[in-house]
């Protein structure tokens, strides 16, 4: 059985990895590291998992890690993975990195929005882990740059019609809304309960670092440079992300054509659910799951296509997709460990 370690197991994405991997029938979770909680039982930090996960957090030590794990998830703030991933790869480990460090093919784009990159040599070999789109590449990958939550919610609904040439690529606007867990577990004024409840607002307006990430992928898929306007907003809720996309069709299209376009891409993909009726996707319906629910509407009066996608930012937007990618890398069914029945409410 494949042994798995999580580096940075006590942040929200790390803990979500622990949840999924603890219930995964084909791998064994063997190592959890945490800078802040080394020496503490995981269940002392997340009492929900008392009696379920019986592991103790430890300091990161590459030798001890590599002795006990074959696949490594790095759930750390960006910049930190660059420092440790190269050696993990060198030692023959497979790595899924949840930070931005290995998402970009072009190091200049990364450096323009993040930091000087110190492991550039790995970028060309790293695979962008948008599971449904890069499935084939992921199979043989040793290093996955797991997508950001916003990019996942923008790219899954946008790539099919864009790639098929149905959209005027100069007209794309993505208005995204995210639950608070996306901001992580570090105490901060902006994520205090009293600052968030009854608050709804945009932030990093047209300046968010997920914007270049989306554009690199969209440009690659469209075969030409694509720039989009992207505005994230914060929702007073814990988990969930909804993206509403606006674009002008490249020519005359009808709903059947759009539906067909999605079916062509996703009909056999278990985690994309194209709504079969006119109800728009709802974050409540994907909460705690790896699903991406997609809906659309043609605003014919204004000749605009409206795409909507709902995900759980911690699952399909982070830990769930990471495990899906591991499954694909290991030749397992991509759904293993990810089919917990969704809660009705």
The footprint of its own copies on residues 261-320 (CB under 8 A) is 270, 273, 275-277, 279-289, 291, 293, 297, 299, 301-302, 304, 306, 308, 310
Report the residue number, 60 or 230, with the smaller CB distance to its own copies: 230
25 counts as binding its own copies under rule CB under 8 A: no
Binding mask 228-267 for its own copies (x = CB under 8 A): xx-x-x-xxxxxx-x-x-x---------------------
C-alpha 226/C-alpha 170 separation (Å) is 7
Q: What is the C-alpha radius of gyration for the chain, rounded to an integer number of angstroms?
A: 20
Residue count (the chain)? 345
C-alpha 185/C-alpha 187 separation (Å) is 6
Residue 3 Cβ, how far from its own copies at the closest point, in Å?
Answer: 18
149 included as an active-site residue: yes
225 counts as binding its own copies under rule CB under 8 A: no
Residue 100 Cβ, how far from its own copies at the closest point, in Å?
Answer: 19
181 counts as binding its own copies under rule CB under 8 A: yes
Residue 90 Cβ, how far from its own copies at the closest point, in Å?
Answer: 32
C-alpha 95/C-alpha 144 separation (Å) is 6
* Active-site choice (149, 261, 265, 292): 149
C-alpha 27/C-alpha 13 separation (Å) is 18
Contact 314, 4 (CB under 8 A): no
- DSSP per-residue string spanning 112-130: HHS---S-GGGTTT-EE--
Residue 143 Cβ, how far from its own copies at the closest point, in Å?
Answer: 26
Identified binder of its own copies from the candidate list 4, 6, 7, 18, rule CB under 8 A = 18
Contact 193, 129 (CB under 8 A): no
């Amino acid at each position: 059985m494949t042994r798995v370690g999580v580096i940075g197991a006590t942040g929200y994405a790390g803990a979500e990895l622990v949840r999924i991997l603890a219930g995964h029938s084909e791998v064994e979770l063997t190592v959890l590291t945490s800078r802040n909680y080394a020496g503490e039982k995981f269940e002392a930090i997340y009492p929900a998992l008392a009696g379920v996960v019986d592991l103790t957090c430890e300091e990161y030590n590459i030798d001890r890690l590599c002795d006990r794990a074959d696949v490594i998830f790095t759930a750390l703030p960006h910049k930190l993975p660059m420092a440790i991933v190269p050696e993990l790869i060198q030692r023959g480990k497979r790595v899924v990195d949840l930070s931005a460090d290995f998402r970009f093919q072009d190091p200049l784009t990364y450096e323009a929005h993040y930091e000087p990159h110190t492991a550039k040599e790995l970028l060309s070999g790293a695979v962008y882990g948008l599971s449904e789109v890069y499935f084939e590449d992921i199979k043989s990958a040793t290093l996955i740059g797991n997508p950001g939550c916003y990019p996942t919610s923008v790219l899954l609904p946008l790539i099919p019609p864009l790639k098929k040439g149905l959209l005027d690529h100069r007209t794309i606007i993505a208005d995204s809304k995210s639950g608070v867990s996306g901001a992580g577990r570090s105490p901060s004024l902006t994520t205090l309960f009293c600052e968030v409840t009854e608050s709804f607002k945009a932030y990093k307006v047209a300046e968010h670092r997920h914007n270049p990430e989306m554009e690199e992928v969209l440009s690659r898929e469209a075969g030409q440079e694509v720039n989009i306007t992207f505005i994230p907003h914060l929702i007073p809720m814990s988990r969930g992300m909804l993206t509403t996309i606006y674009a002008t069709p490249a020519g005359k299209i009808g709903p059947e054509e759009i539906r067909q376009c999605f079916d062509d891409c996703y009909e056999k993909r278990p985690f994309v659910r194209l709504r079969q009726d006119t109800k728009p996707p709802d974050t409540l319906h994907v909460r705690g799951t790896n699903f991406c629910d997609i809906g659309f509407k043609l605003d014919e009066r204004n000749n605009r296509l409206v795409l909507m996608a709902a995900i759980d930012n911690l699952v399909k937007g982070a830990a769930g997709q990471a495990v899906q990618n591991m499954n694909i890398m290991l030749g397992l069914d991509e759904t293993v460990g990810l089919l917990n029945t969704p809660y009705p409410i």
